Amino acid sequence: MLLLAGGCNLFKQEDDGRPDTAREFPRAYRPVSNLGGNSVSSEQARDDRREAQTVMDLANIRPGMTVADIGAGEGYYTVRLASKVGARGRVLAQDIDESAIKRLGIRVERERLDNVSIKLGAEDDPRLPEKSFDRVFLIHMYHEVSEPYAFLWRLRPALRPGAQVIVVDRDRPADQHGIEPKLLFCEFDHVGFRLVEFVRKPELAGYYAQFEAVGDRPEPQDIEPCGQPGAKETKKPS
């Protein structure tokens, strides 16, 4: 297990609470769920309904891949991805909660997951190395991202050609620990991602959405925030 320093996690902030590093990006016109309030089933219950296996199958995870688990928390997906990509693959587990990172580090050491690295991220930046990942997973956490445009914009350079970004979440308002698909599609679209697959699965207690980066990354000042009158919408593929 390799623990990667995430840099200083302190931001100079104005009265509105936004980090200075996000101010060139538009504000999100939606509520944000509290960190750590997302109640999910036990790992055994999730395995019983084949949640992780379903997601990994949909994402076509194969041995030798390099993947990122963003908002890794206690490591439910991290440890299963580590097994799936095998000794030739790599998993980077990231979270912005320092206590969660410490607990996950203990678990990774205990389970001897030599192909897992751990990194501290930020609310507006996943802090991923460039051109490094075949898949990036955002599992039951995107609704907690307070700066989605900055976050997704800074995530894009980490993708290899043909890489996919995977979101699993609940179809409910963002302040109720979910995000409505229509809003999810819009936010990704406005940072230059195309929706390539969307399915609802009872195994996931929600939906699965898969995106790929297309075209050039927009300049921060050119990103149009979703939720404003006249903002364009993105529909799922037919």
Higher pLDDT, 177 or 225: 225
Residue 148 domain boundaries: 42-222
The DSSP result for 21-90, as a single string, is GGTTSPPPSS--PPTT------HHHHHHTTHHHHHHHHTT--TT-EEEEET-TT-HHHHHHHHHH-TT-E
Whether 212 is in a domain gets the answer: yes
Residue 133 lies in a domain: yes
Residue 26, in any domain of the structure: no
Give the mean pLDDT of 31-58. 83
When comparing pLDDT for 163 and 32, which is higher?
A: 163
Task: With respect to residue 140, please indicate whether it lies within any of the assigned structural domains.
Answer: yes
* Position 101 in a domain: yes
How confident is the model at residue 29, as a pLDDT?
86
* Number of folded domains that form the chain: 1
Q: Which residue do the tokens 């409910």 mark?
A: 172
DSSP code at position 171: S
Q: Domain holding 79: CATH number?
A: 3.40.50.150
- Of residues 228 and 236, more confidently modeled: 228
pLDDT score of 14? 45
pTM: 0.88
Q: How far apart are CA 188 and CA 198, in angstroms?
A: 13
Q: Does the residue 3 lie in any domain?
A: no
71 lies in some domain? yes
Q: pLDDT, tens digit, for every residue of 87-139?
A: 999 999 999 999 999 999 999 999 999 999 999 999 999 999 999 999 999 99
Specify if 227 maps to a domain: no
- Neighbour-count burial of 45, counting CB atoms closer than 10 A to its CB (0-12 exposed, 13-18 middle, 19+ buried): exposed
